[in-house]
Each structure stands twice: as C-alpha cells, then as structure tokens.
Amino acid sequence: MNKNDKIAHIFGSLFVLANRIQILGDRIDPEMTIKQWLFIVVVSKFQGNAPTISDIANELGNSRQNVKKMALILEKKGYVTVSKDATDARVNRVSLTQKCDDYFKENDQKGEDFIMELFKDFDEPIVNGMYEGIIRLTNRVIEMEKAYEQE
C-alpha cells in the first residue's frame, strides 16, 4: 500500500474508530456517555475556574450549540451547574457539582480500565508513535482552522 492509500485509510479510520469507541465506551456506564465523561474531564481541567461554554467548545473541538446542549443535559442529571458570568450576562459558565465529584470518585477506575484495555496490546514504541502522530495531526488541523478563518 502506498503512502496516499495509507493516508486515505487513516483518514477514514479516524471517523469509524471514533464512532466504534464511542459505542463501546457508552456501554461502560448507563448513567453517563463517553462524550459526557469527556465533557466533564475538560471542565475539570480548568481546576476550579468555571470555564465558559466557548472555552469548553474550543477544548472539545465542538460547536457552542452542541456544548451548551450537553451542559444542559448534564445539569438536569445534577453533574454540572450552568450559570451566568458575574460580569457578562451573555456568557454561561459551567461548574462541576458535588454529585459529579462523588460520581468520579466512585467510577474513575472504570474509565481508566476501559482506556487501558483499549490500548493493552500497544507497546511503548507504538504508543510513542501514535502520540507523536496525533500531536502533529492536531497541530495541522489547528493551522488549517486558522487559515480557513482568515478567508
């Protein structure tokens, strides 16, 4: 298989694998989907500073509308609160609740076990290569996004 064929295969596989991993991951816990879990992980990375919907959307590479929708679903479940910014009422901020903290204390191992099982047959050189490849691909996507924004 030549380089172009491999690139085409990688490109298509990214989408297929993302869907398959999501479906598989959603089976871990009926209470929370993988995308909801990732949403909460992103919010937690802001370390106590309640991020805006836009902040979360940028981190997830998703639209503000989809992120707001997910925030409202998680708010109904009691895992986050969505509140207006103290200085700009147009801005919504997302905070994790005690229920969310408790959930992750009880269930954090499930997520870690899932990820470790997913990559159990990957030795260090393969992990390092994939890591480097993902970083390069991410940086290229960011460069292309900036170029499209300037058009």
> What pLDDT digit, counting tens, does each position of 90-139 carry?
999 999 999 999 999 998 888 899 999 999 999 999 999 999 999 999 99
For the stretch 14-66, pLDDT in tens is: 999 999 999 999 999 899 999 999 999 999 999 878 999 999 999 999 999 99
The distance in angstroms from the start CA to the end CA of the chain is 35
Backbone angles phi, psi at 55, to 5 degrees: -60, -45
Domains of the chain with CATH codes: 3-120 (1.10.10.10)
SS3 95: strand
State which H helix or E strand residue 96 sits in: strand 92-96
70 — pLDDT class (breaks 50, 70, 90)? very high
Average of pLDDT values for 133-146? 95
Other beta carbons within 10 angstroms of residue 21's beta carbon come to 14
**pLDDT given at position 47:** 82
Alpha carbon distance 66, 73 (integer Å):
11
Chain position carrying tokens 């870690």? 112
How far apart CA 123 and CA 110 sit, in angstroms, is 22
What is the reported pLDDT for 89? 87
pLDDT of residue 114: 93
Q: Which residue has the tokens 């925030």?
A: 71
Is the pLDDT confidence value at 149 over 90?
A: no
- Could you tell me the pTM of the whole model? 0.86
